[in-house]
Amino acid sequence: MSKIGRKPIPFKTAKVEINGNVIKIDGGKSKFVHELPAGLVAKVDGKSLVLSAEENTRDARMAWGLHRALLANKVKGVETGFEQKVTIVGLGFKAQAAGKKMTFTLGYTHKIDYDLPDEVTVDIDKAGQNLVFKSADRFILGNVCDAVRSFRPPEPYKGKGIILEGETIVRKAGKTKSK
């Protein structure tokens, strides 16, 4: 049986409504609607949301932990939100934001323009090299950070490029002079 699926999902300020297999989560930052597959049942127990599987089939057990994790992310998103820190390393590499449009200068012959989704906001420092992306939806936030990273992935020799927080870059030694 799923050990993740058994854990209750605690919430403080979110409002959770269950209508059959449709769960509506509403908070101060945003709202989400999540539909459970057949075989899973949700109920509110005080200030926590509990999922359970109706039958002990392989499909129900596989979906149990997945949907518990998805619901936990949505509850956390409406209560506190998610943020991802991104660092741009390189001489002259920077980012600028104007509303929902970002412009990256990354050492190419052209500048790269990127339109942020409505659910995502970004904070950029004065130098334009430390970015903080914030969103209530973890999935969209991850997609935006991966898209930004793909403009200039970090290279292994000097470490230049766009690096996500917590990412380790395996560095390589450069050429050495032979005698």
Confidence of residue 2 (pLDDT cuts 50, 70, 90): low
pLDDT at position 56 is 82
Q: How far apart are CA 40 and CA 50, in angstroms?
A: 10
Please determine whether the domains at 3-79 and 82-164 fall in the same fold group of CATH: yes
Domain positions in the chain: 3-79, 82-164
C-alpha R_g of the chain: 21
Q: Which residues of 3-41 are buried (b: 16+ CB within 10 A; e: fewer)?
A: eebeeebebeebebeeeeeebebebebeebebebeebbe
> In terms of CATH, what superfamily is 82-164?
Ribosomal protein L6 (3.90.930.12)
The model carries a pTM of: 0.88
**Using one digit for the tens of pLDDT, what is the confidence trace for 81-129?**
999 999 999 999 999 999 899 999 999 999 999 999 999 999 999 999 9
- DSSP letter at 154 equals P
What is the Cβ-side half-sphere exposure of residue 49, based on CA atoms within 13 angstroms?
A: 27
> In terms of CATH, what superfamily is 3-79?
Ribosomal protein L6 (3.90.930.12)
pLDDT of residue 1 exceeding 70: no
Confidence of residue 27 (pLDDT cuts 50, 70, 90): confident
Q: In sequence order, what DSSP letters do the residues of 36-96 get, joined into one string?
A: PPTTEEEEE-SSEEEEEESS--HHHHHHHHHHHHHHHHHHHHHHT-EEEEEEEESTT-EEE
